Amino acid sequence: MGASIQPRGGGGGRGRRARHRPMSEINVTPFVDVMLVLLIIFMVAAPLLTTGVPLELPQAVADPLPHQQEEPLTVQLSGDGKAYVMDVEVPPGEIAARLAAIASERRGDQVFLRADQGLAYGRIVEVMAALSAGGFRSISLVTDPSPQAN
């Protein structure tokens, strides 16, 4: 009556290898889940990245300027006459000094001036004079494209 005990795999030593075979298929479900989560995050975050001062720009028909290597300096004038340099509010008495300090750090003298269309022309001229005194000689007025151009 000789009874022998066999391993659980059944076939003498081959059973252990058969249980732990490497998978030959790629499971893409986690990859798709991660991509969908990233898509939702970017869809929600993208509108938040476009920040700035809300302005009603005048419309004009003109070709856009060529792309610059250095980020252009942007000066914005809101409807209530407040001045913003690169989205940071600047008190009226400090704008010329602030622009002179910025001009000393920049290579180019290109500046984009965005002004609300309801703003008085005199306020725009004051800021343009401060830009000129600060060392900026190339001032571009930013407008919205005219619907007639399409």
Q: Are strands 110-115 and 73-77 parallel, antiparallel or unpaired?
A: parallel
> Which pTM does this prediction carry?
0.52
Predicted pLDDT of residue 1: 53
Average pLDDT, the chain: 78
Q: Which of 33, 39, 74 is nearest to 53 (CA)?
A: 74
On the question of pLDDT at 23 being above 60, the answer is yes
Most confident of 27-41, 43-57, 105-119: 27-41
Q: Which long-range contacts (CB under 8 A, 24 or more apart) does 59-67 make?
A: 59/143, 59/144, 59/145, 59/146, 59/147, 60/143, 60/144, 60/145, 60/146, 61/145, 61/146, 61/148, 61/149, 62/143, 65/140
pLDDT of residue 98: 85
Q: Are strands 138-141 and 73-77 parallel, antiparallel or unpaired?
A: unpaired
**Distance, CA of 137 to CA of 118 (rounded, Å):** 25
Domain coordinates of the chain in residue numbers? 71-140
Domain 71-140 has CATH 3.50.50.60: no
Mean local confidence (pLDDT), 21-33: 84
3-state helix, strand, coil in the chain (%, to 5): 40, 15, 45
- Angle among Cα 12, 18, 22 to the nearest 5 degrees reads 150
The predicted-structure confidence for 51-68, as pLDDT tens digits, reads as follows 666 777 777 777 766 665
